[in-house]
Structure 1
Amino acid sequence: MSAPGLVIFDCDGVLVDSEPISMRELTRAINAVDVEMSEREVSTVYAGGTLEAIQRDVSLRRGGPLPSGWIDDFYSARAEAFARELRPVAGARETVEAVQRLGWETCIASQARVVKMEQTLVLTDLADLFPPERVFSATMVRRPKPAPDLFVHAARECGWEPDACIVVEDSVTGVRGARAAGMRVLGYAARNRPEDEAMMLSAAGAQIVRDMREVPGRVAV
């Protein structure tokens, strides 16, 4: 019996609860080079973006190039914080396993580098759910989210057409990319997050889920 389709999971904020840690450490790094931004502002402006684009924007706000090694120092501080604090998103494992039991194939498509995903998935005991050939990074395509390239690439590599794919995302950037690829999108907006996040995901074209454990039921519809 063939699978009904492919469920594509984002990683940060969907499977691993890394976004609060990443935004906190990014805020520290930005303020350390005399660019004053609050953590809320950093999250609003940069969530879902690539670090290369973030680095360019911070340079513009600073009015000049960033110190040598700035991005490497951020990577190091974030990795140390992940090792101390990182946890899976509540219900992430049971959600992926339930989707797989329903017969759907699964993969990951993230803006993050593969090495970062390897670290976060191991730290959260989720690595066994996704073999390496089912982990896709924006570094593998020409244009990152919100372009559709990464989602189209992931679907193609897994042997599926876009209309047979469902994407689980937590950022407007990701939702726009998935919709541009012609895919249905479930937008994860945890109940403890600001209500405007759910509104923005919905406006971008996502069907909202407030608990990751709602995903299998939505997929089965």
Structure 2
Amino acid sequence: MHPRKPALISALIFDCDGTLVDSEDIGIAAMHAHALPYGLTLTLDDVATDFRGKSMARNVAELARHSARPFPDDFTATAREAMAHRFRRELKPMPGALEFIARLELPFCVATNGPRDKTELTLGLTGLLPYFEGRIYCAYEVGHFKPEPQLFLQAAAGLGVAPEHCAVVEDSVPGIQAGLAAGMQVFSLCHPETIPPALAGRITQISGVSDLKDFLG
């Protein structure tokens, strides 16, 4: 059952990976496989949840910390290439996302911890990019990453909507934390058991992007 319908939603701010495009599992698996030749001791299950919504730099550092041999200087660049290769073969939009965005009448944008080239690639591969042209906000450009709120605050300013009238759609705990810190309503696609109890009562759980229609006027 959903909590009481949030009021006065005037704009939607979407995360990208795992919210609009089904890239989280693909990207994490590619990164994990790329680190295995260096004696990585973490299993894919170890990183599958922990890496969601985190910056590439943080995740590479975590892989390096659990590897027997040091990574080369170009590890991050070659890992991104491996991820992009798998995206081109396997990536799909999240169920219902393309159809919902195509009909959405409220102002909206995407705000992501990922870099612009990756975001444009994944949105382009899934048919979503035309809807987000000129409406992509990246933490690398803002200089602040989720769970800090600045990325969402800049996105709200770009949309011309006060933060309290924006709703964030997220699939990671850092994204949820960022949305709440920005004073926004938050819709969560996370598995409920992964959400800390202190956050659970402050968000609205949904099973997919298309569920948002039940909360919009």
Do both proteins adopt the same fold according to a TM-score greater than 0.5, normalized to the shorter chain? yes
Show CA shifts across 1:14-68 (max 9, x none). 1111111111111112322212112121122211101011122223333774222
The 1-side partners of 2:102 and 2:42 are apart by 39
Report deviation, 1:199: 2.9
Deviation at 1:147, TM superposition (A): 0.5
1:206 aligns to what? 203
Structure showing the higher helix proportion among its residues: 1
Contact 2:38 2:70 (C-alpha < 8 Å) held by counterparts: no
1:99 corresponds to 2:104: yes
Structure-2 change in CA distance of 1:181 and 1:207 (3 Å): same
| TM-score of the superposed pair, with normalisation by structure 1 | 0.87
1:11 corresponds to which residue?
16
Aligned to 1:46, the other structure's residue is in SS state coil
The count of aligned residue pairs is 207
Q: Distance in 2 between matches of 1:161 and 1:4?
A: 10
Consecutive unaligned residues of structure 2, counting only runs of 5 or more, are: 1-7
Give the C-alpha shift of residue 212 in structure 1: 2.2
- Which residue is 1:192 aligned to? none
Indicate conservation of the 8 Å contact 1:149/1:181, yes or no: yes
The aligned residue for residue 52 of structure 2 is 47
Q: C-alpha separation between the residues in 1 aligned to 2:40 and 2:14?
A: 33
Residue in structure 2 matched with residue 183 of structure 1 by the alignment = 184
In 1, Cα distance between equivalents of 2:122 and 2:30: 16
Q: Which deviates more from structure 2 when the two are superposed, residues 172-181 or residues 200-209?
A: 200-209
Amino acid of the structure 1 residue aligned with 2:164: D
What is the CA–CA distance in structure 1 between the aligned matches of 2:62 and 2:165, rounded to whole Å?
36
- 2:150 matched residue in structure 1: 149
What residue is the counterpart of 1:76 in the other structure? 81
Divergent runs of 4+, >4 A = none
Among 120, 123, 126, the residue aligned to 1:124: 126
CA distance in 1, matches of 2:211, 2:39: 42
- The percentage of aligned residue pairs carrying the same residue is 30
| Alpha-carbon separation, structure 2, partners of 1:21 and 1:164 | 33
Q: Secondary structure at the match of 1:62?
A: coil
2: CA distance between counterparts of 1:206 and 1:39?
Answer: 28
Given that 1:30 and 1:37 are in contact with CA atoms closer than 8 Å, whether structure 2 keeps it comes out as: no
Q: Does 1:58 align with 2:63?
A: yes
SS in 1 for 2:186: strand
Query: The residue matched to 1:32 in structure 2 has which SS?
Result: helix
Moved more, 114-123 or 203-212: 203-212
Ranges in structure 1 where 5+ consecutive residues have no aligned partner:
190-196
Equivalent position of 1:110 in the other structure: 112
SS at match of 1:22: helix
Q: How far off its partner does 1:202 sit?
A: 7.0
TM-score (ref. length: structure 2): 0.89
